[in-house]
Structure 1
Amino acid sequence: MPQKTWTRDELLIAFNLYCRIPFGQLRHGNSEIIKFAEKIGRTPSALSMKLCNFASFDPSHQKRNVAGLKHSGKGDKKIWDEFNQNWEKLAFESQQALERVAGLKQIESYEELQLPDGPTETLRNVRVRLVQNFFRDSVLASYKFVCSFCSLSMTQMLCASHIVPWSKNIEKRADPRNGICLCTFHDRAFDRGLVTIDDDLKIVISDRVMKMKTSPLHDAGFVKLHGNKIILPEKFKPDEYSLEYHRSKIFINN
């Protein structure tokens, strides 16, 4: 009996799951994989292997010789390339497809979110909310739900921080490589340019902060972190363009 061809929506859902599930949990016994496999009429094993196929295209996993099916479908690579060419468009489409099969009403399925570059303005556009949710899930999963600076693992205190701000580059808005998982404390410091990351992925604390009057929080949250390497993500390592932008446009070192 010939295998059923994967539809575009099924591939979008699979890639979305690849992004939002930590790599070490891409097993057929994962509850999310079981749930969505049933929704799209696939076995958990088939969906799990599809996610592993996507991992085989990921440069961060290629270095570790991660392999998918020997003859993975052309559709898998096509979806991978589409995402990498237009993250915002595919993030929206995949999140839409995911919600559709989950039976969620898109207009009600997300909490009101705030603009990443402003504390008060509420996002009401469904497309933007879907993209934001995709970005957050992808970034947090990549870092296995820990702050990449201090290793805090309280999910309620974690943010998917944009390296290049949301308002500055449309192409980077949904790209997980333009994100880093930070606790709310370090997210605010990063957003304000008080800390940055160098080419070696080490934490750099602004001289302005280093010269401030010391306190236990200042010492633990800044001084002791200076020069430490960030906790690296399993996938979607921060790209050089984004880090250089943050160092040159946002970081304050005086």
Structure 2
Amino acid sequence: MKVWIEMSRDIEHGGDAWGFTRCIWAPTYKKGKSINKSWLFWDNVNKVKSGDFILHLRGKGKEAEIVGYSIAKTDGYRTEECPPIAGEWAYCNSFYRAILTDYLKFENSINLYRLFFDKELELKDYYEKKSKPKNLFFTIQSGRLQCLNGGYLSEVDEALLEIILDGTEKFNNESVPIGVSVSASTTLKKIKVRVGHERFATNVKNNYNNQCCFPGCKIADKEFLVASHIARWADNSEKRGNTSNGLCFCPIHDKAFELGYFSLDDNFRVFVERKIDHSQIFKEYISKFIGLPISKGYIEPDREALKEHRKRCNISKQDC
């Protein structure tokens, strides 16, 4: 899952099903005098994946604000269909497009002028460290931060999201970002949580070389791997995002671990409290491997988190 910022200045934005919050779209090329050229910020539309978050930036100058967000319903795709109101892009015979859903308007928008003022040092530092192509919605000209003309759709990585959303410490139950309503804060918190889940999953899978770590399991297809939390995400805020709090399992072993069919001792060996003889899953995928260690990752599982898992699943410590 990625987060993007869409700069949509016009009211119609294509009109009808191509209108604002209905979809994002862009021409597939810029019309040149002798040759047509691609444009990074238009090509980005074709890179959007279903489930991505799209932050909407509207207005100009001091009125420019991040007004809400939508979720991509489809992957980006190329189409020869033309928007009802193509405007200056009517010359183009093909477009990139991604359908959007679940638009939510922030009760108090995030004013870009204020963001540039309050976060000037952080944004400038981020900009200077960003490798080329920068793929950013803003730039620095004459020492000042400003929106990049033509930067229609740009990616927002975790570091930039931290700056825009005013830091993770603002997203707890007691406080909200300055100037952002409780409703908007809850929405933005969802983005933060989801990004955190994605990062956690990537780190855990990489830690186990993208292979199920359960003994004897050979599944190594990323599409069939799950980053399992040892201490549950909601139960332990200190450990929740740590790579050591995750195990890379296939869906079967992930579910079995979640349901307490097995746990791991302090030497990372599979063991159970009692044999679940009635379960075909237990017989086929668990019982044969009791006492065997999981495959090692670069970072060991957190023993305290495993202790929490055993307690939660009513599995005795035994000879750990």
Larger RCO of the pair (alpha carbons < 8 Å, separation 6+): 1
Structure number with the higher strand fraction is: 2
What's the TM-score once normalised by structure 1's chain length?
A: 0.50
Structure number with the higher helix fraction is: 1
